Structure 1
Amino acid sequence: MQAVEILERLVGFPSVVGTPNGEIVGWIRHYLQSHGIVATEIAGPEGDRSNLFVTIGPRETPGYILSGHMDVVPAAEGGWSSDPFRLRAETGRLYGRGTTDMKGFLAVVLAAVPALAAARLRRPIHLAFSYDEEAGCRGVPHMIARLPELCARPLGVIIGEPSGMRAIRAHKGKAAARLTVRGRSGHSSRPDQGLNAIHAITEILACASAEAERLTQGPFDPVFEPPYSSLQVGTLKGGQAVNIIPDSCEAEFEARAISGIDPATLLAPLRAMADALPQRGFQSEWRELSAYPALSLAADAPLAHLLSELTGTEPLAAVSYGTEAGLFQRAGMDAIICGPGDIARAHRPDEFILASELLACQAMIEALARHCIA
C-alpha cells in the first residue's frame, strides 16, 4: 500500500484523544502481520487503549526508533469543508483530521515497512506508536518503561511531529494542573454564613499572575520564543448567580519551562497556596493534567549530525510546541524532532498535509534505512 492509501485508512479512524483506540491499533497490527512483522501491544492503565512497538532488524543491536502518536484532537469545531474523518485530496493537498498531526508520518512509516522488512538491516529500525499524546503524553511513558526488555538501548529516537522535514533539537517542557476549590453556598446577603470559593481562588490567581511576570525576568535561553519560562491561567469556572455565594470554583494552570527547569516546579507556589486552603474551611483538590520535560539535544550530538545528513539541512535549535521527545531523552535516549507537515495547520479546521511532504518524509526514511544497512 502507498502512503496516501494508508493515510486514508488512518484518517478514517476517529482516534480522538482520551477515547478507546482499539480499531486503529487493530488495523495497524493486521497490516504489519501481513508483511510478516509482529507488533507488541502495550496496554495503558485505562484498559481501552494501547501503544504499539515494532522491531525490524536485529533487536539485540542498538538502532533507531521512529516515534509517533495515533491519537488526534477532536474535530467538532466549525469551518470544516468536508468530513474531517474522510481523507479529501485536492490539488496536492490531503485534508483530514490528523493528516499533519501526525498520521501523515505514521502513514509514510507504515508504507516503508515492506522495504524495511526486505532489507538486510545491520542496525534495527523500531516503530513506536503511542496513544493520548494530545492529553499531555500520557501513553508513551508506559511504552518507554518496557523498552529495556524489547530492544537494545537505541542510538536515537526520531519523533515525527510536523516540522517541515527540518530536524529540531529542543523544545520547552510543560506541566498543567486543575485546581478545584469548594466552599459553602448561601444567600449573598449573608456572606458571614458562607465560604466564597471564587474569593478563595482569586488569591491563587493573583499569585499565578505575579509568577508569570517574574518569569519574564529570566533565566533566559535565547533559542526559544519567548526566551524564558511562562505560566498562565487557562480556564476559570465558578458561581451560579450573582446573589448566590459560590460554593465551588475551578481553574486550570499551565507552565512551560526552558531547558534545565522542571515545569512542575513553576506550579509549586500555586499548589502550596491551594494546600493551605483547608485551614480556612475550604476543600481543595489539585489534579495534575499533564507533564513532560523539555528536550535539549546538543548541536554536536551524533543524532543531530545524522538528521542533517538524512534531510540535507541543518537542524533548527528549538520550537515552542512540545512533544514526547523529552520523555525519551529523560529515559537516557537521544531524541530529535523531524516529520512532514506544518504545525501551523494542526488543531484547526481543514487540516492538511502536502503530498510532496509525504514524499520528502519517505526520502528521509529511505536514507535512514541505507544508513542502517551500511
Structure 2
Amino acid sequence: MNVVQILERLVSFPSVVGTPNGDVVDWIVRYLESHFVRVNVLPGPEGDRANLFATLGPEDRRGYILSGHMDVVPAQEAEWRSDPFTLRAEGENLYGRGTSDMKGFLAAVLASVPALRALRLDHPIHIAFSYDEEAGCRGVPHLISRLTELCAPPLGAIIGEPSNMRGVRAHKGKAAARISIEGRAGHSSRPDQGINAIHLMVDVLSKAVETAGALTQGPHDPTFEPSYSSMQVGTLKGGQALNIIPDLCVAEIEARAIPGIAPTALLEPVHAVVRSLAAHGINATWEPLSDYPALSLPPDAPLSALVERLTGAPSLAAVSYGTEAGLYQNAGIPSIICGPGDIARAHKPNEFIRAEELTSCQTFIEALGGFLSIRS
C-alpha cells in the first residue's frame, strides 16, 4: 500500500476523541504485523481505547520515537463538501477529517515501514501512537509510563503534528478545568427562597480575570507571542429563563504557561476560590480537563540539528498550539515537533493535506532510517 492508500484507510475510521478506537488500532496492528513488526497494544484505563507501541531495529539499543495520535476532533460542521471520513482527492489536495491533524503523519510512518525493515538499523525507530490527544493529551501518559519496559531510554522523540515539515522547538503548556456550582431554583420574584448559582460564580470569574491581568506582567519569554502566560474563561453556562433563579452555573477555564511554569499552578488562585466556596457549604466542584507541560528544546540540541539536517530547513523557535512533546520531554526524552500538513487546516471543515506533503514526510522518515543504519 502506498501512503495515500494508507491515509484513505486511516481516515475511514471515525476515531473521534473520547470514543472507542479499537477499529483503527486493530487495522494498524494487522498492517504492522504483515510487515513482521511486533506491536504492543497498551489498553488505557477507560477500557475501550488503547495506545500502541512498536519497534523496528534492535530493541536493546537507544533510538528515536515517532509519535502521533490516532484520534481526531468531531466533524459535524455543515460546511463539509463531502463525507469527512471518506478521503476525497481534488488535484493534489486530499480532504478528510484528520488528514493534517494528524493521520497524514501516521500514514507516512506506516508507509515507511517496508523501507525501514529493509535497512540494517544500528539504532531503533519506535512507533508510538496514542489516543485522546485532542482531549488534552490524556492517552499518551499511560504509554510514556510503560517506556522503561518497552525500550531502552530513547535518544529523542519526533512528534508529527502538522508543522509544514519544519522542526519546532517549543510550545506553551496548558491546563484546563470545569467549575460547577449548584444553587437552588425558584421564582425570580422571591430571591430569598432560592440560591442564584450564577451570582455564586462571580467570585470565581473575578479571580480568573484578576489573575489573567496579573500574568501579563510576566515573567516573559520572548520566544512566544504573547511572551507571557495567559488565562481565560472560555465557556459559561447557566440559567433557564429570566424569571427563574439559576440552580446551576458551569464555567470552563484554561491557562497556558511559558516553559518553566506548571500550568496547573496558574489555575491555583481560581481553584482556591472554589475550595473556599465548598468550605462554606456551597456545592462547588472542580474537574480537571487537561494538563500538559510546555516544550522547550535548546536551539543547539542534537535532535534539532538532526531534524534540520534531514528536512533541509531551519527549525522554528515556537508555535502557539500544544502537543504531546512536553510530556515526552518531562520524561527525560528530548523532543521536537515535525510533521506534514498545516495546523491552519486542522479542526475545520474540509480539512486537507497535499499528496506531496505526505511524500515529503515519508522521505524524511526513511532518511532518518538511513541515518541510523549500519554503513556497509
Scaled by the length of structure 1, what TM-score is found?
0.99
Instruction: Give the unaligned 5+ runs of structure 1.
Output: none
2:290 is the alignment partner of 1:313: no
Runs of 4 or more above 4 Å deviation: none
2:89 is the alignment partner of 1:94: no
SS in 2 for 1:186: coil
Q: Residue 183 of structure 1 corresponds to which residue in structure 2? A: 183
Q: Is the 8 A contact 1:311 1:364 kept in 2?
A: yes
Q: Alpha-carbon deviation of 1:280?
A: 3.7
Q: Is the 8 A contact 2:278 2:285 kept in 1?
A: no
Moved more, 183-192 or 351-360: 183-192
Q: Alpha-carbon deviation of 1:315?
A: 0.8
Q: Is the 8 A contact 1:164 1:339 kept in 2?
A: yes
What CA distance in whole angstroms lies between the structure 2 residues aligned with 1:286 and 1:267? 11
SS in 2 for 1:251: strand
Q: Residue 131 of structure 2 corresponds to which residue in structure 1? A: 131
Q: Residue 42 of structure 1 corresponds to which residue in structure 2? A: 42
What CA distance in whole angstroms lies between the structure 1 residues aligned with 2:373 and 2:105? 22
Tell me which amino acid in the other structure corresponds to 2:368.
Answer: L
2:245 is the alignment partner of 1:245: yes
- Describe how 1:321-360 pairs up with structure 2 within 5 A: 321-360=321-360
Moved more, 225-234 or 337-346: 225-234
Tell me which amino acid in the other structure corresponds to 2:86.
Answer: R
What CA distance in whole angstroms lies between the structure 2 residues aligned with 1:234 and 1:208? 11
Q: Residue 267 of structure 1 corresponds to which residue in structure 2? A: 267
Q: Is the 8 A contact 1:197 1:282 kept in 2?
A: no
What CA distance in whole angstroms lies between the structure 2 residues aligned with 1:327 and 1:47? 22
Q: Is the 8 A contact 1:62 1:124 kept in 2?
A: yes
What CA distance in whole angstroms lies between the structure 2 residues aligned with 1:90 and 1:244? 53
Q: Is the 8 A contact 1:183 1:281 kept in 2?
A: no
Q: Residue 12 of structure 1 corresponds to which residue in structure 2? A: 12
2:210 is the alignment partner of 1:210: yes
What CA distance in whole angstroms lies between the structure 2 residues aligned with 1:169 and 1:101? 18
Deviation sequence 1:268-295 (CA, Å, 0-9, x none): 0111000111344310110000010000
Q: Alpha-carbon deviation of 1:214?
A: 1.3
Moved more, 194-203 or 326-335: 194-203
Q: Residue 106 of structure 2 corresponds to which residue in structure 1? A: 106
What CA distance in whole angstroms lies between the structure 2 residues aligned with 1:18 and 1:278? 29
Q: Alpha-carbon deviation of 1:114?
A: 1.1
2:174 is the alignment partner of 1:174: yes
Q: Is the 8 A contact 1:195 1:282 kept in 2?
A: no
SS in 2 for 1:214: helix
- Describe how 1:23-42 pairs up with structure 2 within 5 A: 23-42=23-42
Q: Alpha-carbon deviation of 1:196?
A: 1.1
2:298 is the alignment partner of 1:291: no
Tell me which amino acid in the other structure corresponds to 2:65.
Answer: I
Scaled by the length of structure 2, what TM-score is found?
0.98
